[in-house]
Structure 1
């Protein structure tokens, strides 16, 4: 499937896509920083600042003793050489993961991993580089967290060169996924706008969570496949999936380091059943309140109000 268009239309499409990615990163940055520990994020920000400033002494001052063999002068020189010479334009914190584990007879160990996306100013040719920066922090016992890992990855190029390169499956995923979510949202609104509806909470959960079976499209394979129920073989083993809950029966995720998209779309069984029952008049309703019940609820109101 190919969609021919003018250069202006393509420019608008690229601009909208860039705006969408930027907006998503801004939202994710604010969300991750809101749930993360401010002191830990400040330490990670300081480590990124030190590396971008090519300050070897500042990096070593933040390094954990167990990682001193990693942050050698040669290793840091390679990182400094790889980074662009242009100053930083913006920085987004995309991931914040923490864990604590303890071996019998030893102090607990805390690990925190943060992933940034750093965009630099354009170079002399007008090209703008973006890099993923992975920060690993480590602490033993009650000791403060210190830098144990610093890795830089290039942000992957777009999966498809342009809108004309989008395959049919990708177009279908871009259309079906949001339409499915909107359909479930409309069903949810209808659930709460239907007066005296019985089992409103159960209908809400049914509409929001129940979608089956689940289909998926991956830009890595370029094809649709049955996700649940299904049996899938990966390099790490065989995975069985017989039940999968997807909010509003649709979702999408972009893999951080590869840039590939995965769309999950389920048949919205809950929303379809609600609209079917509503159309057929099969929904259960609570009995309307009698006049005596309304008077009991409002004892100060006259039983037979008279309008002037």
Structure 2
């Protein structure tokens, strides 16, 4: 783990410490801090930032092998802003065998007195901690309780993010991924945006010598910081999941057909608006491909 870094005009020196407490120092032209939401580099750069911003929502995740539901390739999202359930198949091999390896996420509100726990992907939980809240939830072809109970392991973590930073790059040091822009896990953008960070960063550093590295980091930041800041803020509005809230508010007692509540054009506009923010609209993607 990173303990601390120091830099001068020519290089950066990172002090690392192993799990058994052995420290080493490494010298480099640049330091790319991709050390997650608990980033030590970010904490050194912004010591007064404090703890992550909690939505007071808690996520439970698991993976279950089961019989396929609906088409066998269907993604299900149900619920509203306060509570939802999302699941989708993640294995072509299981599909070819007539089964489904399904990733699922249950999102519930925390209790009024529940405190923020450390953001840890490896904290295990039990189904009964949240499954009773889904009593009475029905979806054709999907047995929610069976899906949850069929998981070998269930993991719990709070849904947190941080406010966008004014800058990531300080001399020969910059941030990327969750260290730079932790966001709510909506729209599959946590890993996606980190991958885009890496691509832009690699493009800017390619062919750059040590003297030009700080300027390359600034160009990377100029490209990626405003884009990811938009996504952080959009995800606070629940991104494309906002469509579920539309139906909750307009048809709380149910409906016969989706178009009785929202037109096809409105649904497409909601999806297109978010795609534009995250850079996945057709025009943006095509422009990127022309530049490859």
Q: Same fold (TM over 0.5)?
A: no
Q: Rg bigger for which structure?
A: 1
Instruction: Quickly name the TM-score band, shorter chain normalised.
Output: under 0.3
Return the structure number with greater relative CO, CA threshold 8 A, min gap 6.
2
The two structures have a TM-score, normalised by structure 1, of 0.23
